Amino acid sequence: MSNDFPAAAARVLACFGGVGATLSGARISAELHVSRTAVWKQIRVLRAMGYGIEALGRRGYRLTATAAAPLPTEVLPRLRTTTFGRRLHYRARTASTNLDLERLAAAGAPEGTVVVAETQSAGRGRLERGWFSPPGGGLYFSLLLRPAIEPTRATSLPLILGLAVAETLERCAPGLRADVKWPNDILVDGRKICGILCALQAETDLIHHIVAGIGINVGLTRRDLPAALRRTATSLRIAAAAEVNRAALLADLLLALEQKYLVWRDQGLTPFLPALRARDALFGHEIEVERASGKVRGRADGVETDGALRLRLADGRIELVCSGDAHLR
């Protein structure tokens, strides 16, 4: 585990042991051999990170709530996976978790390694687009995968990751309905709540690794959204008035991702086709797909076992689209 959780704040936090504990400032300063002022400073740092710490006058401080932030200290005790997230790197701020994880991957990090950030200054979407990643409002993380499969099979990966996200969001916000929009979006009420970016490092026959970046809007309010996203984006708070603990969400999601990934790695997309069909945001709609090679229009007809979108053209023929951006017409 590595993180840039401020070391001094972490030591103060460790003194408390757990939620509900009360400690005097004198005791903390004696235990850590620092001044009372230094303790107070770290209490303020912890509060700014989302920890609830009540000041009780001469009796000291009480830890009332742990932060909902996706800190390793919050995520790891909740984690029920075998490998996903067991190596968890936390960044209070970074340019892009995908870039951080690419570096770790190049240095030999194992499958399941995760980088999670409180905020990203240059969060990435596909094709050099950006991902709006303000602090406190979202879950931004990247997951390292090293499947021993042919590179062409990786096309369908974002769909099963999307399925894991959709199912997990519904579990943590009862009443919410989440759909998967080919190739890499999760929609709630027709608006984007999550985007997925899978970057593949491969040779013709061999995948070196895949960095799967996932961004989820959690606590953002409509006012937090920039004008350009106000009509197209949503969050768990906007859509379901849900107050979601991001650490718990990450732990739950990593389990769902691991379970789906292992089945997908061995059996491909086929076992997931019924679940995808039930959540297909495009199925039956007239759509336009922008591809590198140009636009194509038709009626969305589900996905193939390799993850390609089936598009029924005006003349009834089915065109298979491997990549692109789909829009409802």
What is the per-residue binding string for ligand BT5 in 285-314, x denoting contact by CB under 6 A?
------------------------------
Q: Is 215 in the site for ligand BT5 (CB under 6 A)?
A: yes
Residue 327 CB, shortest distance to ligand BT5, in Å, is: 12
219 contact partners, CB below 8 Å, separation of at least 6: 136, 137, 138, 235, 236, 237, 243, 244, 246
Residues 30, 36, 37, 43, Cα dihedral to 10°: 80
Q: Which is nearer to ligand BT5, 39 or 191 (CB)?
A: 191
Amino acid at 179: D
Q: Which of 96, 155, 168, 245 binds ligand BT5 (CB under 6 A)?
A: 96
Query: Which listed range, 15-23, 91-99, 144-152, 156-164, lies at the site for ligand BT5 (CB under 6 A)?
Result: 91-99
Residue 328 CB, shortest distance to ligand BT5, in Å, is: 15
Structure tokens at 169: 């969001």
Residue 137 CB, shortest distance to ligand BT5, in Å, is: 8
DSSP 317: -
d(CA 247, CA 312): 42
Which of 315, 151, 168 has its CA nearest to residue 249? 168
User: Kindly report the CA angle at 65 between 120 and 58, in degrees rounded to 5?
Assistant: 120
Q: Is 103 in the site for ligand BT5 (CB under 6 A)?
A: no
Maximum distance among all Cα pairs of the chain, rounded to whole angstroms = 80
Q: Which is nearer to ligand BT5, 68 or 236 (CB)?
A: 236
β-pair partners for 319: 311
Q: Is 161 in the site for ligand BT5 (CB under 6 A)?
A: no
d(CA 93, CA 81): 26
Q: Which is nearer to ligand BT5, 9 or 109 (CB)?
A: 109
Q: Is 131 in the site for ligand BT5 (CB under 6 A)?
A: yes
Q: Is 94 in the site for ligand BT5 (CB under 6 A)?
A: no
Sign of CA dihedral 39, 44, 48, 53: positive
Is the bond preceding residue 110 a cis peptide, omega within 30 degrees? Answer: no
Q: Which is nearer to ligand BT5, 132 or 261 (CB)?
A: 132
β-pair partners for 200: 210
Whether 91 contacts 116, CB under 8 Å:
yes
Q: Which of 184, 186, 188, 283 binds ligand BT5 (CB under 6 A)?
A: 184
Q: Which of 41, 47, 62, 192 binds ligand BT5 (CB under 6 A)?
A: 192
Which of 202, 199, 186, 216 has its CA nearest to residue 101? 199
Q: Which of 31, 32, 81, 125 binds ligand BT5 (CB under 6 A)?
A: 125
Q: How many residues at the interface with ligand BT5, by CB under 6 A?
A: 28
Q: Which is nearer to ligand BT5, 9 or 144 (CB)?
A: 144
Residues binding ligand BT5 (CB under 6 A): 96-98, 120, 123-127, 129-132, 140-142, 184-185, 192, 195-197, 213-215, 217, 229, 233
